Amino acid sequence: MSKGFNVAVAGATGAVGQMMIRVLEERNFPVNKIRFLASERSEGKKLSFKGEEIVVERLTHSSFSGIDIALFSAGAGRSLEFAPSAAKAGATVIDNSSAWRMDPDVPLIVPEVNPHAVKDAEKKGIIANPNCSTIQMVVVLKPLYDYARIRRVVVSTYQAVSGSGLKAIKELEEEVKLWVTRRNKEDWGKVAPKSLTGLSYGGVSDYEFSAYPHQIAFNCLPHIDKFLDNGYTKEEMKMVNETRKILEDDNIMVSATCVRVPVFYGHSEAVNVEFEKEVSPQKARELLSDAPGVRVIDEPESFRYPLSIDAEDQDETFVGRIRSDISNPKGLDLWIVADNIRKGAATNAVQIAELLIA
């Protein structure tokens, strides 16, 4: 194809789908024709690509005729239903959902970490995009793993509401507005600040929550996705299983606690790593400074460390607070931040597409 590749974006009207479109444009991906697909609710809407208005079509099993690459951000259920049809039509599917990640015949790829796995795409015609919180962690862990191998990882995440989609972004906005409105109406000199929840302190306790089971504004929810029988959530177990698959090492022990925080964009992670041999903070900074897709910001004396607001709309993964674990001579502590919609989803998917056409 002299002009490029025929590309479809399934779930084009969602937060990740819209970012996929933007990243295709930004990275000048060689597109011949592009097709935007979504549910019947979004059918007929128009989205822009390189100055042209493209009408959104309804996602069906016959949507992929002539398509070379299909980027999916339509959710696990839709992916399970429609991705095989896309592959059968001759497209290579790059799926952002959890549907195919642990399928042994589907490669799970972070281009900076395991680009060689793209060769396995031919087995089913599907490539899985990892979980957002897993992606940014393994981008940082890979150079350290290659140097000293990793025995154990304990990670606590602080995940932005954009990871739950546009609905959650709007919910946080509305809760903050409601909280401020009620605070301005209260006589704060007579109110004891016992809690930020409840009407007595300007909270939103009688607000009808839809994205989360509790108020997210000015709050932290130690609960992302469904709880499992082992006490962990599905989000936490994704980090366990996906890390092992991407790094191709089932012996790595991983424990995760995933928390939703009132941040719009940018997941943050506190990561404790135990290695097979000692790794000094200086050596870790040296390795990470040379790593693809990684930016080291580690000057605590000047209050310089990765922030979610600085990572927003960036494709790099930021790491700082690199220090020795005082409880373990072979341990390091790290602080990792990335834009979950870009590197954690859309950008990583487009990078995989770039691997394919290379």
Catalytic residue set: 132, 267
Q: Tell the burial category of 190 from Cβ atoms under 10 Å away from its Cβ (0-12, 13-18, 19+).
A: exposed
**At what angle are helices 15-26 and 347-357 packed, to 10 degrees?**
50
| Sheet with 126-128: strands ordered across | 57-58, 31-38, 5-10, 69-72, 92-95, 126-128
The residue among 7, 1, 42 whose CA lies nearest residue 25 is 7
Q: How many angstroms separate the CA atoms of 190 and 212, rounded?
A: 31
Q: How many angstroms separate the CA atoms of 71 and 82, rounded?
A: 12
Per the CB < 8 A criterion, the answer to whether 71 and 49 are in contact is: no
Q: How many angstroms separate the CA atoms of 304 and 308, rounded?
A: 12
Report the run of H or E that residue 135 belongs to, with start and end. helix 132-148
Residue whose entry in the numeric block shows the structure tokens 């698959």: 245
Structure tokens at 225: 């996705």
Angle at 85 between CA 356 and CA 66, to 5 degrees: 60
Structure tokens at 99: 């549907």
Cα–chain center distance at 244? 17
Residue whose entry in the numeric block shows the structure tokens 């295709």: 24
